[in-house]
Structure 1
């Protein structure tokens, strides 16, 4: 069906989010050549597929590409994805349940499409273009609104018996801690995701600690975000500083667990929470050094390069999607 296509020298990657779609044209080295963004229509699944396909057509029109000049297009999709069957099993952000994503996009675009979960795509992007180049055994940990990991062993993604490998966000870090959307309490995600960081700082304010984050001249508690906490820490706010110290320790414990479970060459951290906050990453590294000194077992695995930040930054989504269709180097 697709035999009349010429080998591509450019890749198209599409990062699908609940509010916006980013479409990117990149070369085989991962250099961005062109990018566009448009809102995601989530009114119904067919409308969402239309808006995704529309972003591809807009990008191709802007770069004078036709359907025969592109071998395939990669799509990073939030939520549970069956990449082999091309099915969006479930996505809270998109309101999807068992949607034939690949078939729907190929019908609209007449180009082969490859879909995968956005975090798995991000891991493949790091392996191809980013901080994990040349590594066969690494873990990609994405920390944002949610928390999840992708484990690559001998160059292949390890899914586990039930496809749950890497769902570290739902491992309990703080017994009887804050409620998690999975139904548990004290999960890594509930404690250390963006919303979890904001909630921890808010708890300190509720307990009467002084902070520039506290309401001024009124009794209503503020609506906080992790970004508010990061900004307050830059202004030497004690609540924010304490919050990030505590979160840094908890993140370091989780990184230690992952290291001792899988013995990776490196753990790559992506996602907005750590990438946008150097102080938090500094706290993580300080605690990891302490753990490495106190335990000879973890000390054998620990080095200053064990945990690394993603080098793809805000482009991780589109470059990860592009990596899904990149030829083998």
Structure 2
């Protein structure tokens, strides 16, 4: 008999069981050892031994005693949520968002750093390192409280290698994020596309918690999607899955930074909203936007359009509604391809809320192939501006908890 193979198989099974028990406590705690054994179908001695280890490593604590069902009251188990922290980084176009969460994904600290204009690979890595060093000071001075670092990076990412293959906003290729950060901080580093981390964050802690088949759409300076199938992120053969921003919706449309014409993001991303507003305002259309930017139309951005809409500006409301219709065309294609239970819309443009959703839902209602397709749930991100960064933390949590 190959004893190394047997030992390896035993260790794997023990690791899987540990993960199952940890997640049971995370989702259903406070919970007794007996209930864990019953619900997982593991033997009471197996549960008892693993729980003993988890208490020793401080992942789990014993808490208040439960109701007695005859005999002595059972001691209940709970996750020791604030014993360990995770660092999350969301790399946007102009800035990086840094967060610290506990084991329940609860935000403990967050801040942002500007990304230099036309950054080099070294600039990106250097900005990451600066922000992470800053965060490492908030764990009671004990770096051992941090389990790892998760990175949500826009563009195309190889999650196995932890490399940014192509960051279109920076026109940079092959940034070795995992290699550089693991060397610097000597802890686990996980790297994913930012729309994927947004979807993961919503799946664990937000509006996707009860849906194993869902799509998260990150609408900001670009548009990306995270596709969750049977509770697992889908990457595709070459890590391209989810690049919905580059689905063509108008063959005669304007040129996209990717080189193609008529991509969805040239109609519905933040810069497209601002461009459309500027063009129409230059023709003399009346709008509160003109006052908000003090008649300097070059200052118009997506946030200005939203601000004007909130103040009842008819032009801005109509513009955001039309943006929702464009986005709805892309999402109708997704519904007919993937048939998800729910689509979650996040990113900066999603702050437009109902102004955007009204046109989006209208389009899906008119274009859905079946009644069920028309009724696909479309909701806004629960985690909001922090969704991608918190989802980056989930990349590390996945190493410890099994869903």
- Does the alignment reach a TM-score above 0.5? yes
1:14 and 1:74 in contact (8 A); partners too: yes
Q: Does 1:123 align with 2:194?
A: no
Question: In the alignment, what sits opposite 1:29?
Answer: 104
Question: In the alignment, what sits opposite 2:166?
Answer: 90
Change (3 A) 1:37 1:247: closer
Write the distance in 1 (CA, Å) between the matches of 2:175 and 2:266.
28
State the aligned residue count: 319
Among 380, 383, 393, the residue aligned to 1:322: 393
Q: Does 1:138 align with 2:214?
A: yes
C-alpha deviation, 1:155, in angstroms = 1.6
Write the distance in 2 (CA, Å) between the matches of 1:75 and 1:307.
26
C-alpha deviation, 1:92, in angstroms = 4.0
Superposed counterparts of 1:34-73, under 5 Å: 34-40=109-115, 44-73=120-149
Question: In the alignment, what sits opposite 2:383?
Answer: 312
Write the distance in 1 (CA, Å) between the matches of 2:267 and 2:124.
32
Superposed counterparts of 1:253-268, under 5 Å: 253-268=329-344
C-alpha deviation, 1:274, in angstroms = 1.9
1:45 and 1:95 in contact (8 A); partners too: no
Gaps of at least 5 residues in structure 1 are: none
Secondary structure of 2:204's match? helix
Greater helix share, structure number: 2
**Worse-matched range after superposition: 62-71 or 193-202:** 62-71
Change (3 A) 1:203 1:104: same
What root-mean-square deviation, in Å, do the aligned CA atoms of Structure 1 and Structure 2 show?
2.8
Q: Normalising by structure 2, what TM-score?
A: 0.71
C-alpha deviation, 1:41, in angstroms = 5.5
Q: Does 1:202 align with 2:263?
A: no
C-alpha deviation, 1:222, in angstroms = 4.5
C-alpha deviation, 1:106, in angstroms = 0.9
2:156 and 2:239 in contact (8 A); partners too: no
Among 219, 234, 254, the residue aligned to 2:310: 234
Q: Does 1:285 align with 2:361?
A: yes
Question: In the alignment, what sits opposite 2:370?
Answer: 298
Larger Cα-atom Rg: 2
Gaps of at least 5 residues in structure 2 are: 1-55, 60-82
C-alpha deviation, 1:90, in angstroms = 2.3
Question: In the alignment, what sits opposite 2:87?
Answer: 12
Superposed counterparts of 1:237-248, under 5 Å: 237-248=313-324
1:256 and 1:298 in contact (8 A); partners too: no
1:44 and 1:95 in contact (8 A); partners too: no
Secondary structure of 2:146's match? coil
Change (3 A) 1:110 1:226: same
Q: Normalising by structure 1, what TM-score?
A: 0.86
Q: Which has the higher contact order (CA 8 A, sep 6+)?
A: 1
2:84 and 2:147 in contact (8 A); partners too: no
Q: Does 1:271 align with 2:344?
A: no
C-alpha deviation, 1:119, in angstroms = 1.6
Write the distance in 2 (CA, Å) between the matches of 1:185 and 1:221.
25
Question: In the alignment, what sits opposite 1:109?
Answer: 185
